[in-house]
Chain A
Amino acid sequence: MILLTRRATFSASHYYWNDGWTSEKNEQVFGRCANRNGHGHNYTLEVTVAGEPDPMTGFVVDLKWLKQVMEEDVLSDWDHRHLNLEVAEFAKLIPTTENIAIAAWKRLEPRVQGAGGAQLSRVRVYETPEIYAEYRGER
């Protein structure tokens, strides 16, 4: 089995806020991330698929196709957007890096699965070069 990874970047704004909490508790738990005016990051989305190379092409998946799927299913909705205000998943879900990785997985998994062959193995989202979250489809 071979793991193949494709990276892409997007820029978006967000803030962390739990509506069930007081302002004090939000500020205590989330610190500067609780600023309701939002702040932004240059995110890196790293998508890894696993499979056997096709005997005809030598590809696990066509990287061009994977780039297009990432673009159509994730980046076109998220790039240069405010995640809390403009992205459906985060209307009621805090856009932490963990939740962003899970949301990207949910968007990408059906397309990768539907293509046959390769499986989605992991989705990693870097919020900065020093901070990332990863989801591997585990419950």
Chain B
Amino acid sequence: MKAYFGRRYSFSASHRLHSDALTAEENRTAYGKCNNPHGHGHNYVVEVLAAGAVDPETGMVVNMATLDAVVRERVIDRFDHMNLNLDPLFANRVPTTENLCRTVFELLERGFEPAKLELIRVEETENNFFEYSGN
């Protein structure tokens, strides 16, 4: 029987929205105060949704300890209390939350089989969030 298991994590990081392909003026127009030169930060929430058959032996879609270890190692330890712009993954990608959401999906896509990564949601603040399902 197919079910879904969701888990929320959080990390704090700084970023600056700035594209080298745009002029200073255009960056200012596109990103507003998010373009301020010294960056700013957020308490991000990452919600991971895994999908798969419920294992009849354990009653679980995915072992939470396994999921936690993978997410901690690949995402939380990487980004927590860091400047996203300085991570090589954002060398050529503006660290908007859209791009962060896609990056987190790519980092987690494999590693807790047989469950499949169904969806990543990243909440930048309480009032905005982004979702990506790999397509």
* Chain A residues at the B interface, C-beta cutoff of 8 Å: 16, 18, 20-21, 29-31, 93-99, 101-102, 124, 129-136, 138-139
A-B contact pairs, 12 of them (CB 8 A): A18-B57, A29-B63, A30-B58, A94-B58, A96-B54, A96-B60, A131-B6, A131-B8, A131-B64, A134-B4, A136-B2, A138-B2
How extensive is the interface on chain B, given as a class? 10 to 19
Task: Name the distance in Å between B18's Cβ and chain A's nearest Cβ.
Answer: 33
Q: Indicate whether A29 sits within 8 Å of B54 (C-beta atoms), given known contacts A129-B8, A134-B6, A138-B2.
A: no
Contact partner of B5 among A20, A98, A139, CB < 8 A? A98
Q: Does B122 contact A (CB under 8 A)?
A: no
CA separation between A139 and B52, bound complex, in Å?
10
Across the interface, do B61 and A29 meet the contact criterion of CB distance under 8 Å?
Answer: no
CB interface residues, B 90-119, toward A, < 8 Å: none
The answer to whether A135 and B60 touch across the interface, beta carbons within 8 angstroms, is: no
Cα-based distance from A44 to B59 in the complex (angstroms): 19
Say yes or no: A102 contacts B3, CB within 8 Å. yes
* Structural contact, B59 and A130, CB atoms closer than 8 A: no
B1-39 toward A: CB 8 Å interface, digit per residue (1/0)?
A: 111111111000000000000000000000000000000
Could you tell me if A18 and B58 are in contact, using CB atoms closer than 8 angstroms? yes
Tell whether, in the assembled complex, residue B6 and residue A102 are in contact, meaning their CB atoms are under 8 Å apart.
no
The residue of chain B having its C-beta at the shortest distance from the C-beta of A16 within the complex is B59
Q: Which residue of A lies closest to B10 (CB)?
A: A130
Assuming the contacts A102-B3, A131-B64, asked whether A20 and B59 have C-beta atoms less than 8 A apart, the reply is no
Which chain A positions have C-beta within 8 A of B63? 29
Q: How far is the CA of A102 from the CA of B5 in the complex (A)?
A: 12
Do residues B7 and A131 form an inter-chain contact, with CB atoms below 8 A? yes
Partner of B3, one of A20, A29, A95, A101: A101
Known: A31-B65, A98-B59, A102-B54. A135 touches B8 (CB 8 A): no
